[in-house]
Homo-oligomer: A and B are copies of this chain.
Amino acid sequence: MSTKPKPHPQQNHLLAALAPDVQARLFPHLELVPLPLRSLMYESGRTMRHVYFPTDAIVSLQYIMENGASTAILVVGNEGLLGISLFMGGQGTPSRSIVQSAGHAYRLPRPMVKEEFNRHGQLLLLMLRYTQALITQVAQTAVCNRHHSIDQQLCRWLLLSMDRLSHNQLTMTQEFIGNMLGVRREGVTQAALKLQQLGVISYSRGLIKVLDRDKLETLSCECYGVVKKETELLLPYLPQRQVITNVAAIPVVKLPTV
């Protein structure tokens, strides 16, 4: 593994979209945290103390049932943030957040979020737009769970994940994917085999490489497209501002576009 450059806050689209003065106000309070694979970021019942802005990690939000069964209802990457409940007024949610692809996030402590909320500023507006995109994703997950095959859902899942990565490799076992989709491991095996035979992915011991993204999209159900379109509408991707914040605490690393 090569020594990687420290991620920059602006890798997160929401942070990047903030006006320079807002960035100047907030960035000094950001804290970089590594998010190791499979680590638990939040668990039902706890209180969230920070809002997290992923830069190069992917986090999944799961609902867990009494009998242990689970379903992922949301994928969050550098397009969004984790912890909207801090804005919403709740303490937490009946869900669990798990790191699905290792990486980092910048986090903002609760008091800062509150302060920023009270300013009624740009971060609140962005958070609201993101929330609407989030609702669309969750809703579409509900629809997908009802109407589509495991095959299609696997495609959707892979695409949602790919969109939040800068490379084409995912590290997750079929068992893990099964937990996320709320289906049996064997079901994922079957679906993944089909995709392999079609040359769309290669899969070996927890490492998935997406070989043919276009084909993956045609094999997926419409759910992926709906979510993607809606997200782009609400959060048009702003090319990263190369704003040099004059805040010493934040090292400005010029990064290739994600």
Give chain A's interface residues, CB within 8 Å of chain B: 61, 63, 65-66, 69, 71, 73-74, 84-85, 87-90, 93-95, 120, 125, 128-129, 131-132, 134-136, 138-143, 145-147, 182-183, 222, 226, 230, 233-234
Contact = CB atoms under 8 A, between A and B. Distances in A.
Nearest to A118: B120
The oligomer's copy count stands at: 2
A139 B63 contact: yes
SS of A interface (majority)? helix
Contacts of A87: 128
Nearest to A128: B88
Given A65-B222, A132-B85, A134-B135, A143 B90 contact: no
A145 to B, nearest CB: 4
Contact of A142 (B85, B138, B222): B138
B222 A136 contact: no
Contact of A63 (B61, B65, B95, B143): B143
